[in-house]
A = this chain, B = another copy of it.
Amino acid sequence: MKPTLGVCYYPEHWPEDMWAEDAKRMVATGLTWVRIGEFAWSRLEAKEGVFTWQWLDKAVEILGNAGLKVIMGTPSATPPRWVVDKYPDMLSVDIEGKTRKFGSRRHYCFSHLGFRAEAARMAAAMAKRYGNNPAIHAWQIDNEYGCHDTTLSYSKSALNGFRNWLAQKYQSPSALNHAWGNIFWSMEYDDFDQIELPNLTVTEANPSHWLDYRRFMSDQVVAFNKAQVQAMRPYAAQPFIHNYMGRITDFDHFTVGNDLEIASWDSYPMGFLEHVLSEETEEWKAHFSNQGDPDFQAFHHDLYRAVGHGRWWVMEQQPGPVNWAPYNPIPLDGMIKLWTMEAIAHGAEVVSYFRWRQAPFAQEQMHAGLLRPDSANAQGQIEALAVADELASLGDIEHEDSDVAIIFDYESQWAWEIQPQGQGFDYFRLVFEQYRALRHLGLNVDILPATANDFGARKLVLIPGLMAWNDNLRHAVDHFDGLVITGPRTGLKTKNMQIPPTLGPDFASTTISRVASLRPNVTIPLANGGNIIKWQEILEPNSSIIETTTDNIPVLVADGKRHYLSSWLDQEGYKRIFSDLCDQQKIETMDMPEGVRQRAIKGKKLIINYNPHDSELNGVSISAAGYLWQEVRCRN
């Protein structure tokens, strides 16, 4: 594969006489793709049914004529004012019951059937207009589902939809009462129409109630996306894409992805460091302040490779300082190149920068572009051009399956949000910290959904924190020759979010007898180094005890190659244990210096240095914010 670069562009923001020059400069920068259209509804259909295509026709023509491939976005993330006037109840409602007003973006509730149809109608109109246009090479549906906490809504339409969804699922109130255990506090229902959304209860609502609500809302995202795709398919043969956002876990990306050809995500390494990596220390954030977290991007690259069934892009790549994080410093020179190349090493087909020229107005006026508002080249353009040059000489990029995989399951995220049992027990963090330890060991990692029914030729699969087993995953495990590490907190619930009769984990011949959540200033040392933090399960193993605490409490047990890890460990603990088990599986590991990471593809590997200082790996120096490619005979 020959990866290419792109950029996001808003012709409606600029005078028409600038478009041709912009297109020319894009090509001169080495860009292949240009995304347009996704926020332009008010200019395409200013009044219901009255379309104004001419300006967009012209923009597509100019961009296409310049040799660029256009990704056309459907504009459902920004329904104009008249749509809200038509459907006043389409606005989403927050957890406190406050309606979220028009005036920014993403103001619709996914469950509103009227707006869903309106969005599909608009998407179909675009597909009819541009489906046969040779400049259009891909479609983006909507923009950043779930961003600004918009998956969950407590609107009237959500309530009605939830009741119907429950009626379909359970068929009778008594079946629902049983599945949820509503006898517990006399919470039994006689009628589906008695059921409320689970917000604003006196103390927490039934976790099964919450989990079904979360599944319902995720299903609405899936349905909303599918409605547009289905409306467009008859008119458009190009691939469909959605651009997901980092650490947005409120809907099942895998399921949405099943209706699309390509997955993409919007990669803002520095914005994410400050905005969503709340668990990191202030020192960590200061160290990586101008670079971003060294594993966060890689995690999402690997995740979306799975969501896209192998085909994935970075749709929006941070090109300089952004406007939306608590602090918005300037990337170190070189980081834009590094982020781009890192994505490519993880298999990105396209890396597209957001945005072409910084807009001097409205909400994102402080968000850098490749160009400054005065059209001068910004640092982003300089680095994009340099990367384009390098890519020309880099040769084919060929991704191979990794030896190591880790399961990521959105439903488990919801389950442990609903019932953390200890403050700070977050599923994403649990998976991410195991992933980080694997990266520290220099490993390539694949991420797989919990619906995987085959692990392929892999040698090691990790399944931390999985709420409940399912038949597919059981099958995959049962037919897998490699080593499996499950836990902590894997298999500890049924699908209805109850404790299974066996207590769990139904794996590795052990039983979870008790669990403890730990305060941040309490840790429990392992006998051989590292510590338990946050979460400890007490096991009753009928299997080999591989690791214990200094007090001889079992921590890692195994029945052959089936391991169960009882506790959340610190990085030292994870690295030591994973390293040992990799050794068993003949997976080569190395201890990477902090901030230095690597990613192997066929025939070579990329070594990157996220540090603000030069670093050394095996005697080779990598400059601050720099990277280098090394030939390798075979993957790690």
- Could you list which residues of chain A lie within 8 angstroms of chain B, going by C-beta atoms? 12-13, 39-43, 46-47, 75, 78-82, 85, 92, 96-107, 147-148, 150, 180-190, 194, 196, 198-209, 274, 282-283, 285-286, 289, 320-321, 323, 326-330, 358-366, 368, 372-374, 378-379, 419, 421-423, 496, 498-503, 513-519, 521-522, 538
Contacts and interface: CB of A to CB of B under 8 A. Distances in A.
Contacts of A498: 360-361, 365
22 contacts: A12-B183, A13-B183, A13-B184, A42-B186, A80-B187, A80-B188, A100-B202, A103-B187, A105-B186, A106-B202, A106-B203, A107-B201, A147-B203, A183-B362, A207-B363, A320-B514, A329-B517, A360-B498, A361-B498, A365-B498, A365-B499, A366-B421
B203 A363 contact: yes
B186 A98 contact: no
A150 B188 contact: no
B330 A516 contact: yes
A81 B184 contact: no
Given A43-B186, A421-B366, A516 B102 contact: no
A43 B183 contact: yes
Instruction: Report whether over half of chain A's contact residues are helix, strand or loop; otherwise say mixed.
Output: loop
A95 to B, nearest CB: 10
Given A103-B187, A327-B423, A360-B499, 12 more contacts: A41-B186, A42-B186, A42-B188, A79-B186, A103-B198, A105-B186, A105-B202, A106-B202, A204-B363, A205-B363, A207-B362, A374-B502
Contacts of A363: 184-185, 203-207
A82 B358 CA distance: 54
Contact of A194 (B81, B100, B518): B81
Contacts of A42: 182-183, 186-188
B517 A422 contact: no
A445 to B, nearest CB: 29
Of A202, A360, A518, chain B has the most CB atoms within 10 Å of the CB of A202
Q: Which among A41, A101, A206, A498 has the greatest number of chain B C-beta atoms within 10 A?
A: A101
A501 B199 CA distance: 47
B203 A104 contact: yes
A208 B361 contact: yes
Nearest to A513: B372
For the complex formed by this chain, how many copies does it contain in all?
A: 3
A457 B81 CA distance: 54
A283 B521 contact: yes
Contacts of A198: 103
Contact of A330 (B200, B208, B538): B538
A374 B81 contact: no
Given A106-B202, A204-B363, A372-B513, A282 B521 contact: yes
Contacts of A209: 103
The 8 residue pairs across chains A and B that have the minimum distance between CB atoms:
A181-B361, A184-B362, A360-B499, A42-B186, A78-B186, A181-B362, A103-B201, A148-B203
B366 A103 contact: no
B373 A328 contact: no
Contacts of A188: 42-43, 46, 80-81
A419 B324 CA distance: 10
Given A514-B330, A516-B329, A75 B200 contact: no
Q: Which residue of A190, A327, A423, A503 has the most chain B CB atoms within 10 A of its CB atom?
A: A327
A421 B323 contact: yes
